[in-house]
Structure 1
Amino acid sequence: MVLVLLSLFLSEQVENTYGKDQLKSLENLATEIQSNLTKTVPDHTQYLNNVLKVSELFHTYIVLLDPSGAVSPVGVSPKVPDVPWQEVLKKEDIQKVLHGERVFKRGKITLEKDPTDFSLFKNDILLVAVPYIKDGKTTGAIVLYQTQEQLSETDIKRWIFYSALIGIALTTVFAFFLSTRISQPLIQIKKAAEKMARGEFFIRVPVRYHERDEVAELALTFNCMASQLEDSIHQLSQEKEQLFSILRSMTDGVLTINRYGKIILSNPVAGRFLSTWKGQIKENTLPPPMQVFFDKVIEDNKEHTGDITEQGRTWVVVMSPLYYRDQVRGVVAVLRDVTEERRLEKMRKDFVANVSHELRTPLAMLQGYSEALMDDIAETPEERREIAQVINEESQRMGRLVRELLDLARMEAGHIQIVPTERSLYDFVQRIIRKFQALAREKQVHLSAKIEENLPCIYWDGDKIEQVLTNLIDNAIRHTPPEGSVCVHVYEQDGMIHLDVEDTGSGIPEEDLPFVFERFYKADKARTRGQSGGTGLGLSIVKHLVNAHGGNVSVKSQLGVGTVFMVELPVRVKVEEEVSLA
């Protein structure tokens, strides 16, 4: 396009400059001929002949026209065709010349009759007509003209046109070649960049090392960037995977929350925590208790800590802001399930309080009655014997409490020695029933046993299971009112031996049933202390002994109706369990 515009500009300049120069030269020649004919040349015919000879050497032709526009026989170039000059110079043009004006024509001359020998007028023509003055009078017109074949301007314009065509062709080929050489590597870089945008960081651009131009340098820089980016992404991926592994293996829950309250990252422990509110909250949103902490962190721009309790479990929540430069971009929350810790802490406090309470009463009684003996308050032997009996009972009670505490401590530490022996289940249960018959008669409670026939021989630690039944039957008798009944039901089901101790006592409140096997639990919290009062450790000991045999113990109760303790034991204790529990 530039070459085409340049060619048109040059052609126009040649036409405007060189063509005008030719026209000016032709005009000057006509003026000179006119001047010489008018002033200095006496013989016009000889002068014109001389001028004709000279001008034809420069492809310039002269014609003299009379006032009618016809060719004058005086001074005509021999190469001028016989044409109707009235059509070349119109009548009005002749009149202008006769009145002393000059006429200029440039371009195509159109004739009504165009014989084949009028070849000089087939192309453009440059023509100047001036008045012919003879003896002081204008007698005609002197016409000087040049045709296109004689004009250098035409050749110049033709060569400009040809040069433009050749230049355009060469430039197009070179531009296409250069564009391909430049654009092809750039297209490869573009495609490589698109693949990298899709995550293919291993892609590289081929480089022509023998041509170290700007494009090659760009490709080398791109490959260096891609290599560094691939290394960075690989390192980030490793760190991310390592971080996820750490988060997955953590026992604490971790949540990452953006500044709009949406969860963007969580580990499995946190997922289990959020499942507590499943169906109550939308996906990736915070439960209401955590939303309160989140709002505080965003508002105060500092860490907050607190407890969340839901469905009987307690979590400690620590929320800290995450920063991007000076702005909070989110929050990280760490969750820890402290339900067991809180339960153990409560058990520890209850244990200390219960032990203190259990020991305080017998110690006070021992101190009081011993001071009574020392101060001789008891006057008669019977009174001193009664005081001594109370001191003995309280001492035995303290001893029993200490023994049971030691036994329970050993059991909770896993130091339970199980020594199983084979024996008859019927004889074993009947012997324990007979041991409690006297106490049952004293309490006016009917004690019985219902034992299924054809029961297999058992392979248990007899002393430990006897302690289990002793605690259960003793509790049942002590909490059954007179005229009530206690029954021990023994049967086999699904390969397991079931020992159910059922009474018709006062029962246990439903809200207390989950805690009956904890230490120092007492079904009758209002009962008075004395020989019949227990330590509150019996059921906890029962649970540990049954579990040590690979069994299970549970309870059912209804206030005012009675209670059933159900013990489920395998027929034979496995040897591997003996070893692991020893």
Structure 2
Amino acid sequence: MKRKILLSFVAILLVSVLIIGLLSINLVKQSYTTELEKRLVTNANLIAAFIGTDDIRPEDPAFSKLADELAEQGQVRMTLMDHQGRVIYDSRADRELMEPHHQRPEMISALQDGIGKEIRYSDTTGQEMMYVAVPVSISGNVGVAYVVRLAMDLQEIDALTKHIVWYLTISLAFGLLIAVVLGFRLIDRIIENIRGIVNMTQRMADGDYDKHIYLESNDEMAELADHFNHMADRLNETIGKLSVSNARFMALLTSLKNPMIALDQHKCITLMNAASENLFNVKAAELQGHHLLELVRDTELDDVIQEVLENQSDQQVEVTLREPAEKTLRMMTSLIREPEDPLKVTGLVILMDDVTEIRKLEKMRSDFVTNVTHELKTPLTSISGFVETLKSGEIEDDETRQRFLDIIEIETERLTRLINDILTLSEIENIRGHEQKVPAAPGDLLEEVISMMETISRHKEVALHREIARNLSEMSLNEDRFKQMMINLIDNAIKYTPEGGKVSVSAYEKYRSLVIRVKDTGIGIPDKDLHRLFERFYRVDKARSKKMGGTGLGLAIVKHIVLSMNGAIRVNSEVGKGTEFVITLPLS
């Protein structure tokens, strides 16, 4: 940059001096030519007046002598011609050898206009000459008798021009020397100031707004530096406020548990929080600027958003997602408006609430009410029918009457079991985490339950085996719930194991947990029913379950008891080969 400025400075100086020199030379040359022309005209008029008197004639020998003296004193070349252009006298050439001058421009102009002027090259003298010609009239005669022409060479102009060029060259050399020295110092100072400002802008571009620049001058560069310092202070203050605001915003956005997506007017994603990234299993940076349909492939939601943007009214809609996992989301829109112009909408925010579990619970509650109603209605209808029949007195046979009473008793017991199971399930759910627990030995409790169930297994002709590890660690638990859990599992295993089959119960410790396995060689459970096995009133084989007196709540009670003990339960089954329930309970 320094070299460019210096070269530009020198080029401007050279051009300026060149223009001034050319104008000066032209002006001097023009002034000299004008002055010379005036002098020649004056002298020519004097000579013409002198010749026009009667005292002297050009043909006289005395005229040549007088003309030579006048030409020598005036340092001019004098030529006298008649009106036809024939040379009568010339101070520097032999008139005999000279051709007629009637075609010379100055001769023609003198005869036509009364005076002739011309600057041209002379073949006679071999120099650039200025010619002035005036007509001569003899006193007493009419018309032009002679033409006097004075000429002077222009060597003095060339010499003067050379002097001017010489002086200009010396002036230019000194001027360039001084300009280069002073220019170097001035340019160095300017470049240093500019470099300081450039370094400051570079630091500002890198995010450092604490540095300032101070210039030792009182010119515009110092004023520019002051403005930069002020701008840096304002930027530092503004960016500090923005950083704090952005940190708060990001903290708020990160802490927001509900998924949130911001869209622009074209329904393209501008912002996503961490919760939405986790929900859709994507990265916000990958979808920045992409259309919402690339994330949520639901045309109904797209239509709702379009309606919100067009009508500028917030709405709420529920959308069921199929990918990456099936979920039901309640989406609430909120328009983004310009702070300065509330009527201008620049986009919207979608706040999502995962209501999948709520909808599942609502469906489970609805199914539970339906199932309870159905389960209660069936035995009640049966009891009511038999009671009306007995009350009518139409049954006189004691044996028939007794059979009806037995049926009523069976249905009443079934109804009682159902109500007890419902109450038990409700109680487990309501007191979860608050039930009374005492230290107990799980091995002893398992032995008690197995001893109780041996009678049922022998009656069913199903072998009941046990593999209880010795010295199992004590646990803090509710003994009644623990026994109920094991009774339900072992009772189910015996019920669905045909005669001659086997049920085995094992317990051992692993990874600071108690593992209990109840395995049978029964009918097994199809794969399609495994995921619903612990739902209330769900039966794999409804007819068989009712025949065996099941309420459909046994496994649901088992699952809730396991959950109340912070444990986990899983099931492995193969149709025709048997089923195994595995319970894992933490010892601490």
TM over 0.5, yes or no? Answer: yes
* Change over 3 Å in CA distance of 1:308–1:437 after alignment to 2: same
Q: CA–CA distance in 2 between the matches of 1:132 and 1:396?
A: 163
- Seen in structure 2, the aligned counterparts of structure 1 residues 132 and 394 have a Cα distance that, compared at 3 Å, is closer
2:492 paired residue number: 475
The 1:397–1:348 alpha-carbon spacing in structure 2 relative to 1, beyond 3 Å, is same
Query: Which runs of structure 2 are paired with 1:76-475 in the superposition (5 Å)?
Result: 85-86=93-94, 91-92=99-100, 106=119, 126=130, 128=132, 144=150, 162=167, 166=171, 173=179, 180=187, 184=191, 187=194, 191=198, 195=202, 198=205, 200=207, 202=209, 206=213, 208=215, 211=218, 213=220, 216-257=222-263, 263-275=269-281, 286-287=294-295, 289-290=297-298, 293-294=301-302, 297-298=305-306, 301-302=309-310, 305-310=317-322, 311-318=325-332, 332-361=349-378, 383=402, 386=406, 389=409, 393=413, 396-397=416-417, 400-401=420-421, 403-411=423-431, 413-422=432-441, 425=443, 429-442=446-459, 444-451=460-467, 455-460=470-475, 461=477, 462-475=479-492
**1:322-351 deviations in Å (ceiling 9; x for gaps):** 678899866644443332222222233333
Deviation at 1:545, TM superposition (A): 3.4
Partners of 1:300 and 1:539 in 2: CA distance = 48
Displacement of 1:128 after TM fit? 4.7
Percent identity over the alignment is: 25
CA separation of 1:3 and 1:290: change in aligned 2, threshold 3 A: farther
For 2:543, what is the secondary structure of its paired residue?
coil
1:4 to 13, 18, 21: 18
Cα deviation for residue 422 of structure 1 reads 3.6
Distance 1:508 1:416, change over 3 A: farther
**Of residues 543, 565, 573 in structure 2, which corresponds to 1:557?**
573
AA matched with 2:471: P
State the Cα distance separating 1:295 from its structure 2 match. Answer: 6.2
State whether residues 104 and 128 of structure 1, in contact with CA within 8 Å, keep that contact through their aligned partners in structure 2. Answer: yes
Letter in 1 for 2:318: G
For 1:39-73, what per-residue CA distance to the aligned partner results, in whole angstroms no more than 9, with x for missing partners?
165699799979969995xx65576889988877x
Say which SS state the counterpart of residue 550 (structure 2) adopts.
coil
Q: 1:511 aligns with which of 528, 541, 556?
A: 528
Letter matched to residue 209 of structure 2: F
Q: 1:234 to 1:148 in 2, by over 3 A?
A: same
How far is the alpha carbon of 1:471 from its aligned partner? 0.9
Residue type matched to 2:309 in 1? N
1:141-174 superposed Cα distances (whole Å, 9 cap, x missing partner): 96756566877x9769956984797489759939
Query: C-alpha separation between the residues in 1 aligned to 2:409 and 2:102?
Result: 173
Whether the 8 Å CA contact 1:484–1:505 is kept in 2: the answer is no
Residue by residue over 1:66-104, the C-alpha shift from the partner in whole angstroms, topping out at 9 and shown as x without a partner, is: 9988877xxxxxxxxxxx5359x9555599799997886
Residues 345-367 of structure 1: per-residue CA shift (max 9 Å, x gap): 22333333344444445666676
Q: For residues 556 and 415 of structure 2, what CA distance do their matches in structure 1 show?
A: 23
Gaps of 5+ in 2: 1-14
Which amino acid is the alignment partner of residue 456 of structure 1?
N
The match for 1:533 among 543, 549, 558 is: 549
Give per-residue Cα distances to partners, 1:207-232, cap 9 Å, x unaligned. Answer: 6585254x554554454445434444
The one-letter code matched in structure 2 to 1:490 is S
**Aligned partner letter, 1:525:** K
Alignment-derived partner of residue 39 in structure 1:
53
Question: SS of the counterpart of 2:320?
Answer: strand
Structure 1 residue 419: deviation in Å?
Answer: 1.7
Stretch moving more, 493-502 or 157-166: 157-166
Alignment root-mean-square deviation, CA: 5.6
Q: Is the 8 A contact 2:200 2:211 kept in 1?
A: no
Letter in 2 for 1:23: E
| Aligned partner of residue 436 in structure 1, secondary structure | helix
- Tell me how far apart the structure 2 counterparts of residues 199 and 267 of structure 1 sit (CA, whole Å): 28
Amino acid at match of 1:340: E
Contact 1:486/1:501 (8 A) holds in 2: no
Give CA deviations for 1:434-475 in whole Å, capped at 9, x if unaligned: 423443455x342421436x6334524554432222111222
Question: Are the structure 2 counterparts of residues 10 and 142 from structure 1 closer, same or farther at C-alpha, using a change threshold of 3 Å?
Answer: same
The residue identity in structure 2 corresponding to 1:474 is: D
User: 1:26–1:128: 8 Å Cα contact kept in structure 2?
Assistant: yes
Between the aligned partners of 1:111 and 1:204, the Cα distance in structure 2 is: 83
Q: Structure 1 residue 318: deviation in Å?
A: 4.6
Aligned length: 538
Over residues 369-390 of structure 1, what are the superposed CA-to-partner deviations in whole Å (9 max), with x where a residue is unaligned? 7777887788769759758845
TM-score by length of 1: 0.69
1:497 and 1:150, CA in 2 relative to 1: closer, same or farther beyond 3 A?
A: closer
Residues 503 and 563 of structure 1 are in contact (CA less than 8 Å); yes or no, is this contact kept in structure 2? Answer: yes
* Change in CA separation of 1:309 and 1:35 when aligned onto 2, cut-off 3 Å: closer
In structure 1, stretches of 5+ residues that fail to align are 73-83, 113-120, 575-582
Whole-angstrom CA distance in 1 between matches of 2:254 and 2:213: 42
TM-score (structure 2 length as normaliser):
0.68
Tell me the SS of whatever aligns to 1:500: strand
SS of residue in 2 equivalent to 1:456: coil
Change (3 A) 1:470 1:185: same
- After superposition, the Cα gap between the structure-2 partners of 1:48 and 1:239, relative to the gap in structure 1 and judged at 3 Å, is farther
Give the direction of change, closer, same or farther, for the CA distance of 1:20–1:216 in structure 2 (3 Å limit). same
Measure how far apart 1:497 and its partner are: 5.4
